[in-house]
Amino acid sequence: MTNQKIKIYTISLGCPKNRVDTEKMLGTFGSSMIPVPTPEESDLVLINTCGFIGPATEESIDSILETSEIIKEISPKPILAVAGCLVSRYGALSEQIPEVDLWLSTHDLDKWPDMAAKALTKEFVAEQTRAISTAPAYAYLKISEGCSHSCRFCTIPSIRGPQVSRELTGLVEEAKYILDQGVPEIIIVGQDSTAYGSDLSDQTTNLRNLIEKLLPLDGLEWLRLMYLYPAGLTDEMLTFLANAGRPLLPYFDIPVQHAHSEILSSMGRPFARDPRRVIDRVRKHIPHAVLRTSIIVGYPGETEEHFNILMDFVKETRFQHLGVFSYQPEEGTPAGEMEQLPAELREERRLRLMELQSVISREILEEKIGETIDVLIEEPNEEWDGLFNGRVWFQAPEVDGITYISAPEDSIELRPGMIVEAEVDNVTDYDLVTLIK
């Protein structure tokens, strides 16, 4: 088979799991693929979309329309392929957006490269690798597809289907490949990472087993877990995590979504009791743990009393990182059929909660001033020569704050992917400013 070169321009929207899908498709093209920085240079434009909530759907459609306007002026015109959750949720929107040449559903993930090559009328030699787009600082390891929970506000099960865990050996091999590229941090992602393996016939395969396989791998400096559902953080699991040691980070991303049992029950959350229990359990086993969570405000039926209890919960718990979202009613979900709160009220509650969190975050970060801490260098700062953007261990990429780092001219040369010691000199509400002495 002739290995023809394919120039590809990509836009990947939505969550890290989407990004992994994009990277795997591009990796399948292997040496046939030439990434290009603009649509004008491409044979194929790939837009991997998000369709989780209304604003994400709008962003995806806007991106498709804007890109189609650009490429219609190009000759010869590149193939425009639209992939991902938008397609899985709404199907091929050929009548509404006829400019798109190829629609790729997440249900056909393994077929994406072949379908694209066919549209291009080009042949290539398939390779089972990934074109890691987050290198050199970190990469995501997606351990499962879909979700088997029945949260009444969520579209993921209808878009992505029930949970399908990936085989353990394949994940370990993929992790080795990531580390072979010189990437120091691996971030485990899944819709519910604590449920990993529960759908597999081999009941010895679970998140603990996976972590045990990953920790000894050469080159792994930081291992971070995301999307840990409360029900999966049992005393037994937390005892294991507490004793695992580095490179596993004591970072806990636990999406509680709310604090009031009535709202949690109405949401259909798999853990609808008082979320303080799981927070207390984590802190009992790992007192120095850093906690991140996500919360939805303005859910149907949320009263001012419900919201005030939520505010008190955030004030008492003092999460280091907090993502707050105003509820978005989604077609096809039970919650979308309920009586909705006014959009203005939902947004007002979101802003109130974020104002509270900004104070908490700054207070926590101010305690770090004067401390010497490891910083993972990500990239040069675009505005200041000699300044780099990076992260410390309690900052996950894309969702938490960042760490600015600089060094004297006669000091070490900073490069992306390095981990260096620096002293915390100053803070903002969410970011650190560090110096190498």
Tell me the pLDDT tens digit for each residue of 308-352. 999 999 999 999 999 999 999 988 899 999 999 999 999 999 999
What DSSP assignment string belongs to 54-109?
HHHHHHHHHHHHHHHHHHTTSSSPPEEEEEEHHHHHH---TTT-TT--EEEEGGGG
**Which residue, among 294, 304, 25, has the nearest Cα to 154 in the 3D structure?**
294
Q: How would residue 92 be classed by pLDDT, with cut points 50, 70 and 90? A: confident
Domain positions in the chain are 6-120, 138-366, 372-435
187-243 pLDDT, tens digit per residue, is 999 999 999 999 998 878 999 999 999 999 999 999 999 999 988 999 999 999 999
Max Cα–Cα distance, the chain, nearest Å: 67
pLDDT cut 90: percent of the chain above it: 64
Give the whole-angstrom CA distance, residue 192 versus residue 23: 21
Radius of gyration of the chain (CA): 22
Distance (Å, rounded) from C-alpha 96 to C-alpha 99? 9
In degrees rounded to 5, what are phi and psi of residue 413?
-85, 120
Element counts in the chain: helices (H) and strands (E): 12, 18
- Burial-class residue 316 by CB neighbours within 10 Å (0-12, 13-18, 19+): exposed
Nearest to 251 by CA among 372, 376, 347, 349: 376
Instruction: Select from 3.40.50.880, 3.30.9.10, 3.40.50.12160, 3.20.20.140 the CATH code of 6-120.
Output: 3.40.50.12160
Protein fold of 138-366: pyruvate-formate lyase- activating enzyme (3.80.30)
Backbone angles phi, psi at 340, to 5 degrees: -95, 150
Asked whether this chain's domains 6-120 and 372-435 adopt the same fold, the reply is no
Residue 350's H or E segment, with its range, is helix 343-366
Spatial CA neighbour of 82 closest among 112, 46, 58:
46
The answer, as to whether pTM is greater than 0.85, is yes
Q: Which two tokens stand for residue 237?
A: 């699991």
Q: CATH for 372-435? A: 2.40.50.140
User: In which element (H, E) is residue 373 found?
Assistant: strand 372-380
Neighbours of 201 (CB within 10 A): 5
The 10s digit of each residue's pLDDT in 178-202 is: 999 999 999 999 999 999 999 998 8
Question: Tens of pLDDT along 265-284?
Answer: 999 987 657 889 999 999 99
Instruction: Dig out the tokens for 384 from the structure.
Output: 């200041």
Say whether pLDDT at 54 is over 90: no
Angle of helix 235-244 relative to helix 207-214, nearest 10 degrees?
A: 10
Q: Can you give the pLDDT at residue 257? A: 92
Which pLDDT value is given to residue 118? 87
Enter the DSSP assignment of 40: G
Residue 2: pLDDT band (50, 70, 90) is low
Strand partners, 33: 6
